[in-house]
Every structure is written in structure tokens, then in C-alpha cells.
Amino acid sequence: MATEPLRGVRVLDLTNVLAGPYCCYQLALMGAEVIKVERPGSGDLARVLGADPDRNKAGMGISFLAQNAQKKSITLDMKSSRGKALLKLLVQSADVLVENFRPGVMDRLDLGYEVLRAENPALIYCAISGFGQDGPRRDDPAYDQIVQGISGVMSITGAPDTAPYRVGYPLADTVGGLTAAFAVSTALNAKPRGTFLDIAMSEAVISTMGWVVSNYLVGGVMPGAHGNENTTSAPSGTFATSDSPINIAANRDEQWQALARHLGREELLDDPDYATREDRKRNRHALRGELEKSLKSRRANEWVAELNGLGVPTGRVQTVPEALADEQLAGRGLIGTLQVDGEDMQLAGSPVVMDGQRSMPQAAPPKLGADNAAIWSELGLSTDELNELAKDGVI
């Protein structure tokens, strides 16, 4: 199917919380069979994280629900000898294994890449960590906020008088997970298959800071926090109106001229402080103040419609609920409804549209160990063996 290019690919998801689960969720939405391999009794830590205490108690926390639909769940104690043997058996049937333990953990369990590659030479082994599998920081904890700080993101977020600021969602986890999903998808195309992917969240984040990094490395410009101002042009940033803020990106001269004329501020076009792009950049704060004298006279939606109509890129600054209710997003169907324990639950689907179709989760996030019988039986274990393994806490 157009929306399932990874159909037939089996992914073992040994990950916890966000970066790894988000990676594997994207693979699941692309059609891969994703099997979560979780610790018996507790499972993914995200099962007890989220804003709803009752869901946390039930092991289906909102943080877990967000990126674990369309997956299966089995339990396995990988510290036990029988558990190690079962993981090796499972690897023989897999195409991909994704883990986000600290570097060295899988090797200490005697389940590292070289060991598992002996079971399946075509295995794509993806290790996600905060800072990579080697280097002086490899053993440091990889929490999102730590990575945001170390990668430099916080130093350029906020205004000069408020930075450093954390980006308002787990940027490093999400970018790291998306990078890993991209890397896995790429490795699946290799012939022959089989590789070790070392994904560092910090490096994934720095890679997305392209202009900031290049301006420093090539142009010698020290990165700084500029609030809502686009440092490449002016007027380009966030402006106040009579009710809510809007973003205006008048990056070209003709857009700047159209903006000034529409606001009835033609005199600004003749002001030497604003004559060129560089002049406007140098005097951007004074220019914003001048433009807001006019912008504050009317509502945001009016300005957005009129300025976009003139070819001046403009958009409202929306809250998350407003963004989710926006007719553009709602009309394209990014958010779908799925039955979870008899309850209609809204979850995000794939951000990719293929041939006009978007892949949406068809199966609810799994209960812990919900697929133990099906998966382990498929690999040849009998009911008696499964009962014994469950009794001994191996699964």
C-alpha cells in the first residue's frame, strides 16, 4: 500500500520514554511491524508518565499513548540467561533493533551489536543516545533538557534579557528520534543489509541549527538570543495587534514596501534608517515600534488576510489548542480518532502524506505484554514453556 512502504519489516523496539519510542512510532506508521520489548512488571517508563494519574496507575500514561499506537508489546528480562537466549531468538526474525540505553549497557548484558549480528548478519542495529557511543561525554545522562543546554539550543532561545531558555517541548528527544527513523529507513534500502547506526541526540539537534552554525563557522558571527526577531531580515518577526500577536516576514524589498504602504506609513520608505535591508536590520526595534503604531489599531485576523493578499507573508501566533483546531490542520487529517479501551482517543498520525493518503494508527497502544503469547508462540515456544517463563519472571 502507498502508506505502508515498510510493510514486511520487523522492528524490535527496546526503547523507553520518547526518543526511541518516537522513532519506532514513525516506522510503525510507515507499515513496519514494531514489537516493543519491555521489562516484565513495569515496561516502558512512559507508561506511568503524563497528566492523568489514573492512566498512569493503569500503566497507560498519556506520555506512552502519544507514540506507541500501532505497536505490539512483549515482556522480557534481558538480564537473565533465558531472557538473553530469547532475545537472540527474536533477533533472528527481525530486520531492525532500536535501543536507547546508555552506551555500553547492551554490551554489558552480552547483547551488543557484535553478539546480535552473529545471530542475524542483516540486522540493522540503531543505538540512540544523548552524545554518541564514544567520546568523553558518552556516559552522561541524556535527558532532553540536558541535551538542549549542551547543544547550544538554550543559549539562542529567548530574548537577550531572558536567554537561556528551554524550547517548550522535548526538542532533542523528538529530533533525535526522527533522525533515527530516517537513518533506519535509509539502512533498509542498502544491499546487503546490516549495519550499526550511532545516533547522538546532541548531534541531531546541532545538525538542524544549520544557519546558526554556519554563520558562526563560516562568517564568524557569534550566535545569540534574538527573541522573535528573524536576524536575516527586517521587518521580520512578531508584532502586536489590537488582540493577538502576528508574525510578519517582509523579507524582500517589495514586501517591505507593500507593508509600509498598506499600513499607511509611506513616510518610512523615505527614512534613511530603513532605506536598505541592512539599515532595517540595524534599526529593527525602532522599526517594529513604528509599525505597531498602525498594527495595534486592528485585529490580527484582519491583518493576516489583507497582508497575505498583498503577498506579505503573515500569520497569527496561535496557542496549541488553536493550532489543533485550525481548519488547515483539521482539514488535512493529521489528528485521528482511535478506540482505546472503549474510549475514543485522538492521536497524531504520520506527518507524511503519500499519494494523497496519510498513514494513521489502526491499533491502540498495547497493554504491557499483550502480545507475549502470539509472538513467543510464533517463535516455537509452547504454552507450558510460556507459563514457566512467566512464573519465573523471564517474560
Tens-place pLDDT, residues 233-245: 999 999 999 999 9
Checking if the pLDDT of 78 tops 80, the result is yes
Q: What is the pLDDT of residues 258-317, one digit of tens each?
A: 999 999 999 999 999 999 999 999 999 999 999 999 999 999 999 999 999 999 999 999
For residue 222, what is the DSSP state? P
Supply the pLDDT for residue 68. 97
Confidence of residue 198 (pLDDT cuts 50, 70, 90): very high
Among 232, 228, 215, which residue's Cα sits nearest to residue 277? 232
Question: pLDDT averaged over the chain?
Answer: 95
Residue with cell 541535551: 147
Q: Is the separation of the CB atoms in 232 and 226 below 8 Å?
A: no
Q: What is the pLDDT of residues 10-50, one digit of tens each?
A: 999 999 999 999 999 999 999 999 999 999 999 999 999 99
In the Cβ-directed half-sphere of 14, how many Cα atoms lie within 13 Å? 23
Supply the pLDDT for residue 3. 73
Supply the pLDDT for residue 119. 98
Helices 19-29 and 171-188 cross at an angle (nearest 10°) of 40
Q: Is the separation of the CB atoms in 164 and 225 below 8 Å?
A: yes
Supply the pLDDT for residue 29. 96
Per-residue CA distances from 73 to 12, 367, 375 (Å) = 10, 7, 9
Confidence of residue 1 (pLDDT cuts 50, 70, 90): low
Q: Is the separation of the CB atoms in 234 and 277 below 8 Å?
A: yes
Measured CA to CA, the distance from residue 340 to residue 332 in angstroms comes to 23
Q: What is the pLDDT of residues 106-160, one digit of tens each?
A: 999 999 999 999 999 999 999 999 999 999 999 998 899 999 999 999 999 999 9
Supply the pLDDT for residue 341. 85
Residue 230 main-chain phi, psi, to 5 deg: -85, 110
Domains, the chain, ordered by start: 10-208+334-391 (3.40.50.10540), 236-322 (3.30.1540.10)
Supply the pLDDT for residue 116. 98
Checking if the pLDDT of 2 tops 80, the result is no
Residue with cell 500514561: 61
Q: Is the separation of the CB atoms in 347 and 335 below 8 Å?
A: yes
Locate all alpha helices (DSSP H) within the chain, ordered by sequence. 19-29, 53-57, 62-65, 81-92, 105-108, 113-119, 144-150, 171-188, 201-208, 210-217, 253-262, 277-282, 284-295, 300-309, 320-325, 327-332, 372-378, 383-391
Question: Active-site residues: which are they?
Answer: 173
Please give the grid coordinates belonging to residue 82. 533465558
Q: Is the separation of the CB atoms in 287 and 234 below 8 Å?
A: yes
Supply the pLDDT for residue 141. 87
